[in-house]
Amino acid sequence: MATVRRLSVVSEAELAQEPEVHALEEETAGLLQVGQLAKIVGKTVRAIHLYEDLGLLRPAERSKGRFRLYEKDAIERVRWISKLQAAGFSLPELREILKEHESTPTAKEAARRLARAYQAKLREVENKLRELRRIERELGASLAYLEACESACDEHVTSGSCPSCDRHRDRPAPPALVLGAFAQ
């Protein structure tokens, strides 16, 4: 009978299914192997390694055989990376934030600098939000127009005539996202 040695860490979206044969030694010591950390935060081992190469994350220690062992705060750190990545920071940019941070002696000054970086990015995020909302509207308008084609158009009509279509009620001009596709 092969008792499988399996690092069972509950991933973010996983139904309880494994019989949980053995608790892990590193888990009991409160430390995580790279694969466990990766599973918890939903990243690959490769990604975790990359973050380390870029100076974003360090294992608390290594096992005798040089296995990386992480404290729980590494989970926070990786989630921090993921969120700010989604906010538009590149990994090198995040490294800059951490470096600036580590080289700042007082907490107050560190807070000021972090605030400055976040402030600038908040403005970018707000701009991106405006852009995406505009695109959301345009996609919606295009979908409405395209669904109207279903009843307004005939099977024998070719797409060449779409840019100058007059079959829709009130003859609206096709939205830009429709025109752009049919143009040329």
State yes or no: residue 11 binds DNA (CB under 7 A).
Answer: no
Calculate the dihedral angle through the C-alpha atoms of 130, 135, 136, 139, rounding to the nearest 10 degrees: 170
The site for its own copies (CB under 8 A) is made up of 57-58, 71, 73-74, 76-77, 79-81, 83-84, 86-87, 97-98, 101, 104-108, 110-112, 114-115, 118-119, 121-122, 125-126, 128-129, 131-133, 135-136, 138-140, 142-143, 146-147, 149-150, 153-159, 161-163, 165, 176-184
| Segment 46 to 65, residues that bind DNA, using CB under 7 A | 46-47, 49-50, 59, 63-65
Cβ nearer to DNA, comparing 43 with 174: 43
The number of residues that bind DNA (CB under 7 A) is 34
Kindly state the tokens that stand for 80.
Answer: 């921090």
Should residue 112 be labelled a site residue for DNA when binding is judged by CB under 7 A? no
H/E run at residue 56: none
| Contact residues for 175 (Cβ-Cβ < 8 A; gap 6+) | 138, 141, 142, 145
SS3 94: helix
Out of its own copies, DNA, none, which partner does residue 10 contact, by CB within 5 to 8 A per kind? none
Per partner kind, with CB cut-offs from 5 to 8 A, the member of its own copies, DNA, none near residue 99 is none
CB 178 within 8 A of CB 138: no
Examine residue 85 and tell whether it contacts DNA (CB under 7 A): yes
**Shortest distance, position 83 Cβ to its own copies, whole Å:** 6
- From the number of C-beta atoms within 10 Å of its C-beta (0-12, 13-18, 19+), residue 105 rates as exposed
Helix (H, G, I), strand (E, B) or coil at 161: helix
CB nearer to its own copies: pick between 8 and 70: 70
